[in-house]
């Protein structure tokens, strides 16, 4: 065999160089270099811990930390030369550190492995990204509350099967969106607790013989706990999968909301106008105003779903402990986080700019006999069994269809032909305002109930 080998940090056991294509194929530095700040942060904490337990001298620790800070500056100024031959962000930084400060740089890796190092880096990065996503979720939720408060009295049709079902208020509909995002926020906050556990100290898989103080390192890095099993700490990526699952649900909710905005902005519905800055035109049809932002949000949901499936598939067949497969965890995780963060940003920007067309909403609510259930409830309160009331109202609706009149437009004598329990007060429940006002319980669509929920939600939101 050839005695030619590259100068790898792990190359002592090898007698020949890595094949050039294999080197490029197995390298991850092109995408994991974005972890550089977190890699340096973790390395500084590791150095301080090693000095704390006496493995490094204070001078060595100071030299390492100063060297890492200088490398951070090089990277941020665009002066750092990344090498595919050094495989990943960790070895690029360590090699540069050794070149800068000499032998002390070679001591930094004492008591750790790239296995626990990368697991720590990802958790540090993901913890920070979750906080950014939570901030965008909070901004989007606040925007929904503001819009819902302005539209608490605006009446629109509520749909099931995309058919007019009952009148609701636009504010109530927006609060449904709010509740989806509130649960998304709760899921992410809960997932963050499991992200915020430190793997450092697990080393390659079995821990280390050095007298490390993992709790000390965890306190330096702001971790709430320390991984309790070294095999598990380096090998599982369930925290990343859980975050991707939460991201996929966020995108699913944004997709549903976007679908409604797309429908509402169409000529057939005409419920809302979206400002020009969130739309584009057609290259051939000059009249077109396309809701591209909601359409892209709807499309990007599939992308994040794919990222989640990639991670689940990546993990499902791996034996303990670390395997090279896990190099493939970063790109789908990065993509999912970038996509959901950008999607929430544009959604939060767009929500306050939605312009409702209230008269179109009201006119649509007058179609489809939206107050039929109110008439049935009215008869039940008069003592008519519900199933009998249901049949009476069905016949009245059929009569209205034949006359091309809404129930509220039918003369009293024609309504009374279907039940002698119907009196002049029936028209109080057949109006759109009467219908929504009657649903004033907690969670109902009545304007007063909507305003009460907004007040409650604002308090919860600001206290998170």
Assess whether 421 and 457 both reside in one domain.
Answer: yes
User: Which residue in the block uniquely carries the two structure tokens 């009245």?
Assistant: 396
- Whether residue 13 is contained in a domain is answered as no
Assess whether 205 and 175 both reside in one domain.
Answer: yes
Q: How far apart are the first and last CA of the chain?
A: 63
Q: Which CATH number covers residue 326?
A: 1.20.200.10
161 belongs to the catalytic site: yes
| Domain C-terminal end among 330, 362, 394 | 362
Assess whether 282 and 389 both reside in one domain.
Answer: no
For the chain, what percent of residues have pLDDT higher than 90?
90
pLDDT at res. 135: 98
Helix, strand, coil percentages (3-state) for the chain, rounded to 5, are 65, 5, 30
Among the options 15, 57, 266, 282, which is catalytic? 282
Confidence of residue 6 (pLDDT cuts 50, 70, 90): very low
Assess whether 119 and 67 both reside in one domain.
Answer: no
Assess whether 353 and 237 both reside in one domain.
Answer: yes
| Domain C-terminal end among 310, 338, 362 | 362
Is residue 347 within 8 Å of 357, Cβ to Cβ?
no
Give the tens place of pLDDT for each residue, 135-169: 999 999 999 999 999 999 999 999 999 999 999 99
For the chain, what percent of residues have pLDDT higher than 70?
96
Q: Strand, coil or helix: what is 287?
A: coil
Assess whether 65 and 86 both reside in one domain.
Answer: yes
Assess whether 66 and 97 both reside in one domain.
Answer: yes
Assess whether 57 and 94 both reside in one domain.
Answer: yes
Q: Which CATH number covers residue 371?
A: 1.10.40.30
43 belongs to the catalytic site: no
- The tokens for 47 are 């150095």
- Whether residue 259 is contained in a domain is answered as yes
Is residue 140 within 8 Å of 344, Cβ to Cβ?
yes
Q: Left if phi > 0, otherwise alpha if psi is -120 to 50, otherwise beta: which for 175?
A: alpha
- Whether residue 9 is contained in a domain is answered as no
Assess whether 439 and 329 both reside in one domain.
Answer: no
- For the beta carbon of residue 431, count every other beta carbon within 10 angstroms: 15
2, pLDDT greater than 70: no
Give the tens place of pLDDT for each residue, 261-292: 999 999 999 999 999 998 888 788 878 889 99
Short-list 73, 34, 36, 66, CA closest to 48: 66
- The tokens for 203 are 């080393």
Short-list 356, 371, 399, CA closest to 157: 371
- Whether residue 189 is contained in a domain is answered as yes
By the 10 Å C-beta count (0-12 exposed, 13-18 middle, 19+ buried), 361 is classed as: buried
- Which residues partner with 290 through β-bridges? 280
Angle at 184 between CA 463 and CA 345, to 5 degrees: 85
- Whether residue 5 is contained in a domain is answered as no
Confidence of residue 5 (pLDDT cuts 50, 70, 90): very low
Q: For 224-233, give one letter per residue: b (16+ CB within 10 A) or e.
A: eebbeebeeb
pTM: 0.92
Assess whether 350 and 388 both reside in one domain.
Answer: no
For 337-410, list the strands marked E by DSSP: 355-356
- What is the average pLDDT across 107-132? 98
- Rounded Cα distance, 210 and 146, in Å: 56
Give the tens place of pLDDT for each residue, 434-444: 999 999 999 99
Among the options 2, 161, 283, 441, which is catalytic? 161
Mean per-residue pLDDT of the chain: 94
pLDDT at res. 281: 85
| Domain C-terminal end among 314, 337, 362 | 362
Domain extent, residue 411, equals: 366-463
Pairing label, strands 355-356, 272-273: antiparallel
- Sequence-distant (6+) residues with CB within 8 A of 415 are 396, 407, 422, 426
- Whether residue 190 is contained in a domain is answered as yes
In what helix (H) or strand (E) does residue 2 lie, and over which residues does it extend? none
Assess whether 217 and 328 both reside in one domain.
Answer: yes
Total domains in the chain come to 3
């Amino acid at each position: 065999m050839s005695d030619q080998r590259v100068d790898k940090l792990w190359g002592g056991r090898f007698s020949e160089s890595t094949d050039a294509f294999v080197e490029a194929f197995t390298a991850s530095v092109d995408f994991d270099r974005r972890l550089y700040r977190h890699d340096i942060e973790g390395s500084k904490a590791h150095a301080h811990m090693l000095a704390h337990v006496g493995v490094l001298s204070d001078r060595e620790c100071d030299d390492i930390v100063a060297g890492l800070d200088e490398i951070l500056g090089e990277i941020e100024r665009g002066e750092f030369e990344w090498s595919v031959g050094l495989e990943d962000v960790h070895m690029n930084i360590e090699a540069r550190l050794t070149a800068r400060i000499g032998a002390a740089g070679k001591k930094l890796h004492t008591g750790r492995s790239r296995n626990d190092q990368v697991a720590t880096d990802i958790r540090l990065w993901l913890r920070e990204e979750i906080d950014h996503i939570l901030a965008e979720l909070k901004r989007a939720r606040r925007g929904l509350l503001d819009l819902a408060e302005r539209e608490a009295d605006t009446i629109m049709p509520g749909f099931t099967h995309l058919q007019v079902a009952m009148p609701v208020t636009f504010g109530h509909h927006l609060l449904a969106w709010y509740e989806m995002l509130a649960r998304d926020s709760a899921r992410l906050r809960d997932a963050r607790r499991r992200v915020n556990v430190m793997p450092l100290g697990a080393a390659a898989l079995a821990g280390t013989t050095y007298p490390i103080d993992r709790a000390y390192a965890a306190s330096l890095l702001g971790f709430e706990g320390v991984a309790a099993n070294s095999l598990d700490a380096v090998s599982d990526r369930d925290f990343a999968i859980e975050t991707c699952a939460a991201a996929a649900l966020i995108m699913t909710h944004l997709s549903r909301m976007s679908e409604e905005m797309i429908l509402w902005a169409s000529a057939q519905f005409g419920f809302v106008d979206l400002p020009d800055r969130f739309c584009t035109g057609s290259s051939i049809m000059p009249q077109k105003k396309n809701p591209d932002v909601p359409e892209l949000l709807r499309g990007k949901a599939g992308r994040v779903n794919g990222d989640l499936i990639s991670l689940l598939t990546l993990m499902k067949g791996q034996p303990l402990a670390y395997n090279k497969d896990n190099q493939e965890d970063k790109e789908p995780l990065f993509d999912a986080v970038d996509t959901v963060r950008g999607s929430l940003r544009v959604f939060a920007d767009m929500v306050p700019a939605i312009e409702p067309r209230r008269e179109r909403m009201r006119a649509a609510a007058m179609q489809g006999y939206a107050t039929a259930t109110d008439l049935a409830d009215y008869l039940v309160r008069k003592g008519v069994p519900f199933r009998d009331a249901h049949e009476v109202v069905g016949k009245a609706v059929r009569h209205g269809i034949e006359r091309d009149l809404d129930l509220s437009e039918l003369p009293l004598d024609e309504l009374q032909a279907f039940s002698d329990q119907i009196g002049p007060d029936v028209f109080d429940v057949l109006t759109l305002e009467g219908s929504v006002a009657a649903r004033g319980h907690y969670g109902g669509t009545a304007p007063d109930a909507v305003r009460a929920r907004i007040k409650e939600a604002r308090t919860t939101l600001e206290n998170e």
